Amino acid sequence: MTGTEATTTKCRRCNRALRSAESVARQLGPTCAKKEAAKTADFSIDQVVAARQILADGGVTRTRRDLSGPLFLVATSPYTKYWTSPTECSCIRGQRGELCKHLAAVRISLAA
């Protein structure tokens, strides 16, 4: 017994213990990293980074399942919140039909 269990890093998506240094650094196992990459392939790096920050800050709240699917409240600050589904967002970019960091955050949260 070395007592290293206490410092084992687990995948933040599936909670499995991570082995490689790369996986530990991103707190994500290789399979889950691929799933996330597939879900965010359409987004810019900046949007994905911003989306991860929103998720890390606990800014994505699943509210209910409406007729067209899950609906989320995405908060980028205590005063700035958007209604976001996996395909639509209430922010200015979303209303123009463009991809935004809120959509990226929702899709990452659904990528499990």
Which residues of the shown chain bind Zn ion in the complex (CB under 5 A)?
A: 11, 13-14, 29, 32, 89, 91, 94, 100, 102
Of 3 and 49, the one with the shorter C-beta distance to Zn ion is 49
Of 14 and 49, the one with the shorter C-beta distance to Zn ion is 14
> Min. distance of Cβ 103 from Zn ion in angstroms?
6
Q: Which amino acid would we find at residue 30?
A: P
Of 13 and 107, the one with the shorter C-beta distance to Zn ion is 13
Beta bridge partners, 10, equal 17
C-alpha dist (Å) from residue 9 to 17, 32, 56, 88, 97: 6, 14, 16, 34, 38
Beta bridge partners, 84, equal 72, 89
Q: Side-chain half-sphere of 43: how many Cα atoms within 13 Å?
A: 26
> Min. distance of Cβ 75 from Zn ion in angstroms?
11
> Min. distance of Cβ 83 from Zn ion in angstroms?
9
